[in-house]
Amino acid sequence: MEENMKKTISRITMTLAIFFIFGGLGLFAKDNPKAATYKSHEVSANDKDVPTVYFIRDITPEALVKVYKATGYKASGKIGVKVSTGESENTNYLRPSLIKNLVKDELNATIVECNTAYGGGRSNNINHMKIAKEHGFLDVANGFDLQDADGYMTLPVKSGLRIKENYVGSHFKDYDTYLILSHFKGHAMGGFGGAIKNLSIGFASGMSVKKSGKLNIHSAGRSVTSWTSCPQNEFLESMAEAAKSVCDYMQNGKGIVCVNVMNRLSVDCDCDSNPAEPDMHDIGILASLDPVALDQACVDLIYKAKDGGSVVERIESRNGIHTLEHAEKIGFGSRNYKLVEIK
């Protein structure tokens, strides 16, 4: 009897071990029934009228430098690199060891961030700097700048349907060029998070200043001081409009280059202190001068992945594609693109 019990416990233990091991490898990922029939926005390589998105499958420091250089963009002057530092318990933020070669060695750039608009560990200057240090970001750049540490500045939103002004950190104006370095993943509010979210919510001022750009976007212009609800599509449209205002300010987009890293593809964002564990494979790194084309290419790769079911479901449940639809409608960028894979 005792021997049988031991064998039963052993089998259960082994089964659980196999589940967690192979679950981590994505073998228990949610199937994506749309993968076989999905039509992407990728067009012929001969089409000269659409932006180019560069793609490399390796996710290494060397690959990150390589895909950035493929864009032909030469960041100059005082360079800011916009990343998300991630909440204290979060494990999905871009690792400093991955970005150091590009940020510090290649660009000698400053990492820039803004405080959050929720009560997490990055809502004020002191706590945010503490987390940035704990996560290692202070060691992989030529400085770390909380752009709303001293207040905010106002950017006009040209022909904005939802917001008329965008509020970003007051240090935003101190930089000549920006690299928007984003961890692409799902998002509980936007459906997905990539370059557009980093340009909009990422640069927007937090709760620590008089006018919170983050609350302005989340409320579609209804409030800059408190969380105020709005229809989902209005929030998504506000993100697109805020992101466009950032690029308009930066030499009509000429002062910005965007890179999305598609690893740790959770349905939750780096602002979540306890994100869901990813259940699909890593894809690679993509870069473009057009943030709309870049995010669309990433979405297309998710939809075409057989194990992308969870993230596809998250995108569709939040109508996340509407951000891209509105961005293209207001002349922010193109959803059609050429994809050039780098070996």
pLDDT band at 93 (very low <50, low <70, confident <90, very high): very high
* Ramachandran bin of 284, using left for φ above 0, alpha for ψ from -120 to 50, beta for the remaining angles: left
pLDDT band at 56 (very low <50, low <70, confident <90, very high): very high
pLDDT band at 90 (very low <50, low <70, confident <90, very high): confident
Element (H, E) at 182: strand 177-183
Cα-based torsion angle of the residue sequence 96, 92, 201, 154 in order, rounded to the nearest 10 degrees: -20
pLDDT band at 237 (very low <50, low <70, confident <90, very high): very high
**Per-residue pLDDT at 53 exceeds 60:** yes
**How long a stretch of residues is the chain?**
343
The answer for residues whose C-beta is within 8 angstroms of residue 109's C-beta and 6 or more apart is 75, 79, 80, 81, 103, 141, 142, 179
Distances (CA, A) of 68 to 4, 55, 62, 235, 257: 59, 10, 10, 30, 8
C-beta atoms surrounding 253 within 10 Å: 18
CB-based contact 116:207 (threshold 8 Å): yes
pLDDT at residue 78, rounded to an integer: 98
How far, in Å, CA of 18 to CA of 315, rounded?
30
Q: Which of 135, 70, 52, 65 is nearest to 99 (CA)?
A: 65
pLDDT band at 271 (very low <50, low <70, confident <90, very high): confident
Residues 178-214: tens digit of each pLDDT: 999 999 999 999 999 999 999 999 999 999 899 999 9
Three-class secondary structure of residue 259 per DSSP: strand
Residues 110-142: tens digit of each pLDDT: 999 999 998 788 999 999 999 999 999 999 999
Place of tokens 């990539």: 194
Max Cα separation, the chain?
Answer: 78
pLDDT at residue 253, rounded to an integer: 86
Place of tokens 């992407």: 40
**Per-residue pLDDT at 10 exceeds 80:** no
Determine which of 19-23, 89-93, 278-282, 297-301 has the lowest per-residue pLDDT on average. 19-23
pLDDT band at 2 (very low <50, low <70, confident <90, very high): low
**Per-residue pLDDT at 17 exceeds 80:** no
What percent of the chain lies above the pLDDT cut of 70? Answer: 92
pLDDT at residue 20, rounded to an integer: 42
Q: Residue type at 152? A: Y
pLDDT at residue 91, rounded to an integer: 83
Q: Which of 237, 253, 242 is nearest to 293 (CA)?
A: 253
